[in-house]
Homo-oligomer: A and B are copies of this chain.
Amino acid sequence: MKNTFGNAISITLFGESHGDMIGAVLDGLAPGLEINEQYINEKLALRRPFGKISTSRAEADPFKIISGVFNGKTTGSPLAIIIPNNNAKSGDYADLKDIPRPSHADFTANVKYHGYQDYRGGGHFSGRITAAVVCACAILQYALENKGIYLGSHICYMQGIEDKNIECVEDIKTLANLQFPMLNEKAKEQALEIIESVAKDGDSVGGVLETVVLGMPAGVGEPWFDSLESMLSHAIFSIPGIKGIEFGLGFGFADVNGQLANDNFAINDQKIVTKTNNNGGINGGISNGMPIVFRSVVKPTPSIYKEQQSIKLSTMEEQPLIISGRHDPAIIHRARVVVDSLTAFTLADMLTVRYGTDYLAKDGE
C-alpha cells in the first residue's frame, strides 16, 4: 500500500522536504493510550542534527496532533500529526531536477513520476519525512514500555569500530539519552573521529545499527508472509539509506555448522529459554520469548561535497556535479531513532493483530 503500512494498526505518511508540512496518520490505535509529549519530544530530539557532525538546518519539529486525542489520551479514531517545514531553502536544489545526484532517488523519481515530482530537497524521499515517523511511533513505543517491552538501537559497527552489546533494559535506557548511540566510550570517540575526519574531507560514512527488543512475548508472528522478519524488514527497508538487515547471527550463519548455530533449550527460573540466541528471538517467523536482535546497515550519506559524475537529463549528456547545500557526513545516529520507531510500530501492530484492539491499553499481561 505504498505509503501505508500495518495490519491492525496502520501508519500513513505524507509530505515533502520543502512543502508546507509533513505528517503521519496512525489508525487502529487502542483508545486510552497516554500521549506523553515529553517522551515524543525526546525521540524527536534524538533524530535532530547535533554538533559538528550534522547539517546546520535547525529543525525544531514542533509537531501538532490534530485528531485522535482527547483529554491527553488516544480516542481510538485516527491520530493525525503534522509538522511544519519552517526552514527549507528551496533555492539550494533548483538545479537538481535536470542533473540527478548519484545514489539519490532523483533519477528514479524522475522516471517514476514523469518529471512531476517535487524535486526540492529530495521531496517525498527526504529523510525529513522520518520526523513524522518518529513522532507517530513514539506513541506506540511508549505504550510498549508500559507493557514491559523495551527496545533500542546502537551503532554496533562503523569502519572497523565495534561497540559493546546491548545487554539489559538499563542499556536501552542509556541509549535513549544518547545523541550518538554507542555504549562503549572509547569506540564512540573513535567513531566520532571518523565522522569528523570524513566531514573535513567533504565525504560521508555509513555504519551498522543493532536493535534489541526485550520483553517481547513468545507466540507473535506468522509462519509465512507476515513472519516477524518479513514485517520488520518491510518496515525497516522503507527508511532511506537502509540497504541490509540480518536477524541474530545473520550472515554469520554462512560460516558455522548447525551444531554451533542451533539454540539449545534450557529452563531458567521456570521459564523456557535458549542458551544462545543465534536466531535473534525468532523461530519460524514467530517470537520465542528471547530478545529480538537484528542489525541494519545504513549506507554513507549520498550527498557529498566531492565532484561526482552525473548526467544532464534534458540533453542526455554526461555532466560533472558538485552538490551544494547542507548535508550530514553521517546520518546513522539519526536513522537509529527511525529504526526504533518502525520497530515499535511493527511490534505494536503484530501484538494487536494477535491480542485485539485494546491490548496496548490494557493493564497487566
A190: Cβ under 8 A from any B Cβ: no
Copies of this chain held together in the complex: 4
Check if A14 sits within 8 Å of B25, measured CB to CB: yes
Set of chain B residues within 8 Å of A223, measured between Cβ atoms: 3, 77, 105, 109, 124-125
Closest to A300 in B: B258
Check if A67 sits within 8 Å of B258, measured CB to CB: no
Set of chain B residues within 8 Å of A256, measured between Cβ atoms: 206, 300
Stretch among A40-48, A146-154, A302-310 lining the B interface = A302-310
The listed residue (B2, B113, B285, B301) touching A28 by CB distance below 8 A is: B2
Interface 1/0 per residue, A70-104 and B, CB below 8 Å: 11011111111010000000000000000010111
Can you sample 26 A-B contacts with CB below 8 Å?
A1-B4, A3-B77, A14-B77, A20-B66, A22-B67, A76-B116, A76-B117, A77-B117, A82-B82, A105-B285, A107-B265, A108-B218, A108-B282, A108-B283, A111-B288, A159-B254, A204-B259, A230-B238, A243-B246, A243-B249, A250-B297, A259-B304, A261-B302, A262-B308, A355-B357, A356-B356
Known: A5-B224, A107-B265, A265-B318. 7 other contacts (CB 8 A): A3-B223, A32-B116, A77-B123, A103-B283, A204-B258, A251-B295, A261-B299
